[in-house]
Amino acid sequence: MTPSEKRDSQAAMFGNRLRKRTQHFKKWAKHLNISAYRIYDRDIPEIPLCVDLYTFTEGENAGERYAVYSLFERPYEKDPAEEDLWLDAMSHEIERILELPADHVISKLRRRQKGNVQYEKTTSRHAAITGIISEGNLKFGVNLTDFLDTGLFLDHRPLRKILTESTHHKRVLNLFAYTGSLSVAALKGGADYVQSVDLSNTYLDWAIENMHLNGFNDGRISPVTRMDVMAFLDLQIRKTQSGNASRFNVILLDPPTFSNSKRTDNVLDINRDWPKLVHDALSLLAPGGILYFSTNSRRLKFDRDELPYKIGRNTFSVHDITDTTIPEDFKAHRIHRCWKFQLDT
């Protein structure tokens, strides 16, 4: 089989699968009022792509549909010219099956994560494409072109729903807050206070925009803190122990796998540092409080024995809730793992 014949065969397989997945998720998404979701996730081993569909629901471009597809880095070298031809063929299938113009199909390459690559700006042949999407009764601003990620982690949709149903009158701390989608969910759930901590001004500004988009404009109950999370935890523990800070009822901990940002001296390797991060976060919980710890690292070896038996005077329980936090459109790959810790009262 020539490279051209192989490419055409794979394009046909991809198109057939994409059509089936699109039909499968269309009614599901409409029923849940979800306008951004995954429709293909490396279903065919020879086609290591994921495809996400975004439909803008508000603003001047309401109703516009875009597909964002990512090629996961292959474990072997492929001729660059052939790779480009292959990607063009797959892109044309996305255009054809989803009935999208070429400039509504956006391609990205996901390499093995190094440093803050997932947060850095990228070069794109597209002008910036931004808009608002809906998720149940939540709204989020997304940027489809300027960064590797779009500003919204679609796989955390179930965790956002958990927060909207469980944070009434709670004090919530969102660590590594990114664009604040979990903070918005907690505020929507009726939280009395939600503090968002991140090192990036760009993403904290985006978080504030997301809060405003959902009607939360009072910075006194939804403050943002630009600070390295590890340094923040050390400082907050000292303030809490001296009686100068209140404890939290819910803490969200969703760190990157690795970070060596120039904005801090701390180097984060979650495979190494997770016990300290979890311990320090637990130290800020009020009795009965809950910590949600999520990671995308496939190498992290979670061991309860890496943590102390008690936090201060309180014991705690821990449960792997990954299965309940992976949404329907991500079932093919466990994109993250998630644990729920709870201090005893």
What is the CATH number for 78? Answer: 3.30.750.80
- pLDDT reading at 241 higher than 60: yes
User: Do 324 and 274 fall into the same domain?
Assistant: yes
Domain boundary among 143, 173, 192: 143
User: Do 129 and 58 fall into the same domain?
Assistant: yes
- In this prediction, residue 126 carries a pLDDT of 58
- In this prediction, residue 118 carries a pLDDT of 43
SS3 content of the chain, % helix, strand, coil (to 5): 35, 25, 35
Domain boundary among 84, 109, 143: 143
| Cα 136 to Cα 29: distance, rounded to the nearest angstrom | 10
Range of the domain at 35: 3-143
- In this prediction, residue 74 carries a pLDDT of 67
The tokens for 160 are: 């956002």
Give the mean pLDDT of the chain: 93
- In this prediction, residue 137 carries a pLDDT of 97
| Cα 240 to Cα 344: distance, rounded to the nearest angstrom | 18
User: Do 135 and 174 fall into the same domain?
Assistant: no
Q: Tell me, what CATH number does 281's domain have?
A: 3.40.50.150
**The total number of structural domains that make up the chain:** 2
Q: What is the reported pTM?
A: 0.93
| Cα 335 to Cα 110: distance, rounded to the nearest angstrom | 14
**In-domain check, residue 193:** yes
User: Do 33 and 171 fall into the same domain?
Assistant: no
- In this prediction, residue 117 carries a pLDDT of 42
Which has the minimum average pLDDT: 67-81, 156-170, 172-186, 311-325?
Answer: 67-81
- Report pLDDT digits (tens) over 242-295: 999 999 999 999 999 998 776 677 789 999 999 999 999 999 999 999 999 999
User: Do 210 and 121 fall into the same domain?
Assistant: no
What is the DSSP code string of 206-263? Answer: HHHHHHHHTT---TTTS-EEES-HHHHHHHHHHHHHTTSS--EEEEEE---SEE--TT
| Cα 211 to Cα 94: distance, rounded to the nearest angstrom | 33
- In this prediction, residue 265 carries a pLDDT of 73
How do 171-175 and 193-198 pair as beta strands? parallel
User: Do 201 and 232 fall into the same domain?
Assistant: yes
- pLDDT reading at 116 higher than 50: no
How do 138-143 and 171-175 pair as beta strands? unpaired
User: Do 106 and 173 fall into the same domain?
Assistant: no
| Cα 35 to Cα 316: distance, rounded to the nearest angstrom | 38
Chain centre to alpha carbon of residue 253: 12
The full length of the chain comes to 345
- pLDDT reading at 157 higher than 70: yes
- In this prediction, residue 90 carries a pLDDT of 97
- pLDDT reading at 114 higher than 80: no
Domain boundary among 143, 164, 183: 143
- Report pLDDT digits (tens) over 162-210: 999 999 999 999 999 999 999 999 999 999 999 999 999 999 999 999 9
The tokens for 272 are: 């190494």
